[in-house]
Amino acid sequence: MPDVTKTDVKDAVAEAAETPAAAPATPAKSEKARSLWGDAWADLRRSWIFIVSSLLILFLLTITFFPGWFTSTDPILGDLSKHYLQKPKLGEIGSADWLGYDQQGRSVYARVIYGTRASVAVGFGTTIVVTLAGGLVGMIAGYFGGVVDSILSRLTDVFFGIPFLLGTMVALNSFEHRTTWVVIGALGFFGWTQIARVMRGAVITTKQADYVQAAKALGASTPRIMFRHILPNSLAPVIVVATISLGVYIGAEATLSYLGLGLSGVSWGNDISDGGNQIRVAQWIMLYPSIMLSITVLAFIMLGEAVRNALDPKMR
């Protein structure tokens, strides 16, 4: 074994001192965790159902707010001398003659365009009303429990026992002039029960979470706990039900109008009802509003299904 002198040791120490120390290994930067809404949005962007339904709804909203972009014809004004039951001229896309005329000489195309506004307005308005009313009732019942829950749950059961369309028909029959707000109020008065039940179940589950118990221990007020901690974490199932129900309310409005108890103005339901009387000689009066109604209801139901799949972890 070779002899190691003091000089050799000093040289080795000096060489080690001059050599830079290796930098400590830094852990790889972890990816930022996404919330439930972030995961849902990431899934929705990859869903063809969501993309197709969103494009359809965007198109319908454009027609609703800007009907003049699609036709300049008055949907109410008719000319019996020129256009009585005139057949469609499908080659003239976008013209007043495109989809033919009804028994009062009114353009079917113009009425389909302007009927979009009534149906979409009733659908969105009713959905907002039932979501606010049902969500509030369900949140109060689920959070406080006990006697409050029993009273509100029994009230919900009473309204649940009333047939939705039948109750709405009875309510609308008492109004001579049925405006959009009257129809929204009648549909909302009998349609809030499902949202209330869904919200109640979500709140009962959420209020047992650790962060809610910690907020109570820190002395947070009841409104702060309900609206700051419980409500944001209970909205997912409510949004799913409300989105699907929107298409249902549009179909309900058309059904009521078909029965003569819906809107008094231009709507798809009224045109379908008028076309039913002329179905043997002028099928187009009923056909094109029915197609638009089906596309609209399908678009909102598809959107609701896409949102449900994105917000439900079991569906991923």
Query: Is 272 inside a domain boundary?
Result: yes
Query: Is 17 inside a domain boundary?
Result: no
Domain count, the chain: 1
Structure tokens at 142: 């689920």
CATH code for position 188: 1.10.3720.10
Helices (H), the chain: 6-18, 36-45, 48-65, 80-83, 108-144, 146-160, 164-173, 180-191, 193-206, 210-217, 222-224, 235-258, 268-276, 284-311
- DSSP 8-class letter at 315: G
Query: Is 3 inside a domain boundary?
Result: no
What is the reported pLDDT for 285?
82
Query: Is 115 inside a domain boundary?
Result: yes
Which residue type is seen at 44? L
Query: Is 126 inside a domain boundary?
Result: yes
Give the pLDDT confidence of 53-100 residue by residue, as tens digits. 889 989 999 988 898 888 888 888 877 777 777 788 877 777 777 888
Segments in the chain below pLDDT 70:
1-37, 39-40, 312-316
What is the reported pLDDT for 314?
57
Residue 292: domain span: 38-75+83-315
Query: Is 186 inside a domain boundary?
Result: yes
Give the DSSP per-residue string, 146-215: HHHHHHHHHHHHHHHTS-HHHHHHHHHHT-SS--HHHHHHHHHHHH-HHHHHHHHHHHHHHTTSHHHHHH
Query: Is 127 inside a domain boundary?
Result: yes
